[in-house]
Every structure is written in C-alpha cells, then in structure tokens.
Amino acid sequence: MTAPAQVEQRVLQLRASIGLHVDAYHTHDAPLITDAEYDGLFRELQQLESDFPELSTEDSPTQRVGGAVLEGFEQAAHDQPMLSLKDAMIETEARSFVESVVNELGQDDDVELCAELKYDGMALSIRYIKGRLDRALTRGDGTTGENVTAQARTILNLPLTLPVPIDLEVRGEVVMLKRNFEIVNSRLRRLGQKTLANTRNGAAGSMRQLDPKVTATRRLSFFAYGAFELDGRPAFEASSQWDLIEGMRALGFSVAPETALVRGWNGVREFFESVGKGRVGLPMDIDGVVFKVNALDDQQRLGWNNRTPRFAIAYKYPAEEVESIIEAIVVQIGRTGAATPVAKIKPVRVGGVQVASASLHNQDNIDAKGICIGSTVIVRRAGDVVPEIVRTVLTPGDEALTCYVMPSVCSSCGTTLHRTPGTVELFCPGGIKCPAQKLAKLAHFSSRLGMNIDNLGEKTIQTLIEARLVNMPSDLYGLEEQSVRELPGFASVSAKNLIAGVSSSKAPELPRFIYSLGIEDVGEATSRSLAKHFGTWNSFRTASYEQLLATADVGDGTATNICQFFADPLLSAEADRLAEITQPQSYQQQNGIAMRGMTVVLTGVFPTLSRGQAKALIEQAGGKVSGSVSKKTSAIVAGDAAGSKLDTARELGIVIWDEAQLLAIAAN
C-alpha cells in the first residue's frame, strides 16, 4: 500500500520535530517538551513507519534501537592517530603553555585560542563515507581502537547521515548527561540491577555493551570537537579551529554552546574561572577546559612534542569540593583488626558520584580537623575517586559541639582496643573471634584474588555465620546442600551453585592460596614472590625468619608477620587444615618468556581485564609491573581514560599497547 501524501508529510514533520527536540535536550539542556510528549511523537513515527515500510529510512530516529548482540569487539586501525593532550593541573603550567605558544609563533600576548569544554566521557572517532555513518572507533591506544559502530548508531544526537554526501571523520566525546544518568539509574534500580557509578563510567560502560540494545537504553549523547577529510586534511577547507566547530554545527553535530574564542593568558584565565564557577550547573560532567591555538596554520607550525600537540592543552580543575554535614560517626573493624572511624554525612554529589560517607582515618586526623558530630565539612573525592573530608567550616552553634573521641572498645566484640607502639591507629586484638574480623577474613579468603569462590559474597557469608554453619574458612568445605537450601534467600538452584563454587576452588595455585590466608602485609605481589621462592606449601609453611627474609619483596616487617601468623595455634591449625582440604598446587615457573626482563606500566581501564588480572598476566610472562613511567619502562598498557602516564610514555617514545596487544604478546 502506497503511503498517502499527507502521511509522508507527517513522517517528515515528525522527524524534523524529533530532531529539534533531541538538539534542545542533548546540546542545550533546554527541553521544549516533556519526556512523555517526546515519547508520544516517537511512537507515532514508529507506527507510521510500521504501517508504511517504504517510508522507513536508515537515518530515521526510530533506527536507533540497536541490532544483534556482538560476539566481541573487533580491533581496527585509525585513519589518523587519535592521541591525547598534555594536562595542565595548576595555573603556572597553563600560563607556561600560553607563553611558549607566543614565543614560538613570535606573536604578541593576545594570541587567539579556541576554548572548549573537556568532557568527562569516552572519546570516539566517527567515519562517514558519502555522508553515511560508516564506522565508529574508540581511542584504544591511539593507533588502534575498538569497533563500536553498532553501539554508536544508538546515540540519539549523532547524525546517521549528513546533509551532504561527503567523506569525513569526526572526533568527539560520548557523554551521559546528568539528568539522563539519574533516569538510567532509576530504571536500573527498578529492575534490581547494579546502578552506574558516575556519568563517565556510564558512558564508557554503555558503549562497551556487546548488546547494542542495552546501549540504546542508556540515553547517550555525542559532542564533536574535531573533523578532517579522510586524507588527513582539515574539513570544510577550514583555516581555524573555529571554522571546524562551525562546520560541524552546520552538519548537525552537537557542540557545547560554551565553546568560545579567547585571547592570550588573560582570556584563558577568565574563561577557565567562568566555566569553573558554573561547572555544577552544566548538563554534563567536565573535568577541565581544552585550549587550542585557533589558526590551523599556526597549529602546523607548532607541531607535536613526540605524541602530544604543542598547540593545545587540557587545563584541568582541581577535585570538586562540596559542603555537607556529619550526621554520625561509626567505627569499622577491618580484616586485620584496624579500627577506622567513618563519617556518615548528609548525602551530596561530588565529582558526579553520590557520597554518603568518608573515612576519618584516625583520632589524630579527627583532632587536627576539629571534627564533631554535627560539624559542617568540605568533602571532595581524592583524585576524583576516594571521598575525603578536607576541613571543617565554622558555623553558628559550633561552640556547643564536642570533638569526636574514638571509643575504647571494639564496636563488634567489645574487646579493648589497643594502639600499636609508634602508630596512631587503634586495633582490635579479637582476631577471628571478633564478628567483624571474621566476616572480613572470610570475604578476603573467598575473594577474586584469593580462592575466587563463585556465588559467595559478603551477604551470603553473613547469612552463613548467623546460621552458625561457618565459623572458619575451612567450614565452607563442609557445607551441605540441604542445610544451605533452608537458609533465607536460598533455593535449590542457588544452594547447588554455592556448593559447586566452593568445590571448584580446590587445588588453587599456590600464590592464590597464600594470599587467601590474609597474613598481614602479604598482598598479591608478595604472595607470588613467596610461592616462586619456596615452590611448595610445605616449604613455605616451615620456612624460618631468615629464609623468609631472603625472598624478594619480603622485608623485616612482613617476615615477622608471617612468623607470628604461624606461631598462633588457631591460625596455623586453620591454615594446615585448609591446605589439607584444598591441596594447593606447587608453583610452576611459567614457560612464557615473551616479556622476560621487561618493565611494564598499566594505566586506564581495560575492556575485559581487571588491573590485577593484567598484572598477573605480565608477571606470568616473565615481566615486571611498575607504577611509574621512566626511561627504563619497556612498554605501557593503556586503557580507556588513561592519564598522565600515557602522555609521559609518548614523550619518552615508549611502546604503547592496548589490552588486545597485551593478551597476544603474553600468550606467546
């Protein structure tokens, strides 16, 4: 059936109207209609295209629902390298950049720069062939990225076709607007699913969903900041960065309205301060401002400093600080017995994350900051990650408050807390008899780096303890399906899964078993060093202080802790019982020699590997992982959101791998 002219006209009107509302919502943060009204327009267009299939086109808004689930992401090379910028963390660094540009170009102090928001999302490169979206790649290692074309097609404000049939590559950032972050998390909570940590992780994680239909539900946006023809020449015959911005706007790409031209250091400083003051009110999270020399000819003259441009810099804001009130203080008892005071604060959003608590560390820190229950405090996320209280703010009535004093007994078992000589921390000596320590020790034993027991989280452990089915880690291996099935929250399948998870943890690798014991100061790396040095459980178990001290990465404190652990009758008996039950494997030196003698640095977030897994992979292949980049670094493995380590590596000309390259090299 041929569509009547009025239906065809209505379809065109709906597409134009939806496009207008998408632009208002995603680019200008100024929706013209409610979500319900928008959904009504969208459903009407869907229905008309369903009734008259000949009216359905590839660039219709209805085509952004996602296709088939992918088996994995293919790797593809960028047509032009997709590199990052050098950061300026303080004013002197930003001013030095402007001065160096002025000196190099021989211009006066009011050199023109294009100022653009530094979005807190995920970089993406979009290629168009004859005006149609052909391919989308993540940054990857700058040379090779992941092909996320199917996911990119679901981004509401990303043009699927351009108004002119040109070949073009556009670069920009995928972000999740703040309001969409709340909408998506609200939906995930209703579904009983894990919520997103922040808008940055929300954007990156959504683009890495193998099922594009999931990506389509995440309400992502794309903001463009660069474009060039496929042979590398600037797009639109542009002579300036501003020309590129205007050219992308004309093609339908979203560009933050805050983008502006500034002159010289005064212009940079004023723009940076102005945006900083209004940062909280922006529709998306940002972590700085990017300043680029505007004239493209001048950019060419300045060139590149190894792999970072000398014509641009990312001037970053310090960690966001927010005011809140301490509503309560609780003392948490950790696995080793450490008593840590934690402030429960009135929930606030800091750096894109809802924060409701922050560690107070110890009594000395509390005294130094004058912290009381009821204090008004300044909160920030250290490194934009860990919540911390920076200082208190004096307010009327504070004179009636009393500075908080740590309790003298353990909040979990009532044992008197002790202070270790020479330290400021308090400890509970209750050990495994302390309920809080028991829970933490069992959780550590079953953790991913420990025995890696599936289906055994803290809630399940707590349930098992309360039912008196588990008191020590070895009790896990005596659990019976019938007893577990009768517990709250369990049924036949979940009980079977737990028993199977416990059973499958037997015959662990020796480093994993040593780590699982929770000996103080014996972390993942030290456990591996001990396993490598002693080879078998019995050799390690019977080692003397002097033999332990001869192990790489083991000093006096660690050797003493190991000896004290095995001198404790309860702990040593439990360790022997676990060894008998699980039969830890003798350590086998890995045959892989692909990375022998190499020093490798890890940075960023990897698609599939955790940081610990990547480290273990390198060590198994004979390499060593370092936390800092230097001339001695052999290679750097860079994931998404890689920071200054990647910039340093580029400046030093160090080899850069992505996760796929690491996996391939380690496998040889």
Q: Is 346 annotated as a binding residue?
A: no
Q: Is 273 annotated as a binding residue?
A: no
Q: The tokens of 580 are what? A: 């008998």
Q: Which of 118, 369, 438, 532 is catalytic?
A: 118
Q: Is 116 annotated as a binding residue?
A: yes
Q: How far apart are the first and last CA of the chain?
A: 60
> Is residue 118 flagged as an active site residue?
yes
Q: The tokens of 44 are what? A: 């009407």
Q: Which residues pair with 616 in a beta bridge?
A: none
**Beta-carbon contacts of residue 373 (< 8 Å; ≥ 6 apart):** 326, 327, 328, 329, 401, 404
If residue 566 lies in a helix (H) or strand (E), which one and from where to where?
Answer: helix 556-567
Q: Is 458 annotated as a binding residue?
A: no
The CB-side HSE value for 635 (13 A sphere, CA atoms) comes to 20
Q: Is 410 annotated as a binding residue?
A: yes
Which residue type sits at 400? A
**Beta-carbon contacts of residue 496 (< 8 Å; ≥ 6 apart):** 481
R_g (Cα) of the chain, nearest Å: 29
Q: Is 169 annotated as a binding residue?
A: no
For residues 268-303, b (16+ Cβ closer than 10 Å) or e, as one string? bbebbeebbeebeebbbbbbbbbbbbbbbebbeebe
Counting beta carbons within 10 angstroms of the beta carbon of residue 213, is it exposed (0 to 12), middle (13 to 18) or buried (19 or more)? middle
Q: Is 109 annotated as a binding residue?
A: no
Q: Is 35 annotated as a binding residue?
A: yes
Q: What is the DSSP letter of 77?
A: E
Q: Is 114 annotated as a binding residue?
A: no
CA separation for the pair 63, 160 (Å, rounded): 9
Q: Any idea which residue has 């995930």 for tokens?
A: 188
Cα–Cα distance list, 162 to 55, 252, 575, 629 (Å): 18, 8, 66, 43
CA separation for the pair 225, 309 (Å, rounded): 15
Given a contact cutoff of 8 angstroms between Cβ atoms, the answer to whether 370 and 554 are in contact is no
Which residue type sits at 152? A
Given a contact cutoff of 8 angstroms between Cβ atoms, the answer to whether 447 and 517 are in contact is no
Alpha helices in 517-555 (DSSP H): 524-534, 537-541, 545-549
Q: Degrees (nearest 5) of the Cα angle 509, 511, 512?
A: 65
Q: Is 79 annotated as a binding residue?
A: no
Angle between helices 458-466 and 435-446 (to 10 degrees): 130
Q: The tokens of 476 are what? A: 């896990």
CA separation for the pair 64, 249 (Å, rounded): 21
**Dihedral (CA of 617, 621, 622, 624) sign:** negative
Q: Is 512 annotated as a binding residue?
A: no
Q: Is 428 annotated as a binding residue?
A: yes
**Beta-carbon contacts of residue 434 (< 8 Å; ≥ 6 apart):** 333, 337, 410, 412, 413, 415, 428
Q: Is 434 annotated as a binding residue?
A: yes
Which of 668, 511, 661 lies closest to 593 in space, CA to CA? 668
Given a contact cutoff of 8 angstroms between Cβ atoms, the answer to whether 516 and 524 are in contact is no
Q: Is 269 annotated as a binding residue?
A: no
CA separation for the pair 666, 600 (Å, rounded): 12
Q: Is 323 annotated as a binding residue?
A: no
Q: Is 380 annotated as a binding residue?
A: no
What are the start-end ranges of the E strands in 57-153?
75-77, 87-88, 112-119, 122-129, 132-138, 144-146
Given a contact cutoff of 8 angstroms between Cβ atoms, the answer to whether 445 and 473 are in contact is yes
- Which residues does the annotation mark as catalytic? 118
Annotated binding site for NAD(+): 35-39, 84-85, 116, 139, 173, 292, 316
Query: Residues at the annotated binding site?
Result: 35-39, 84-85, 116, 139, 173, 292, 316, 410, 413, 428, 434
List, as residue ranges, the binding site for Zn(2+).
410, 413, 428, 434
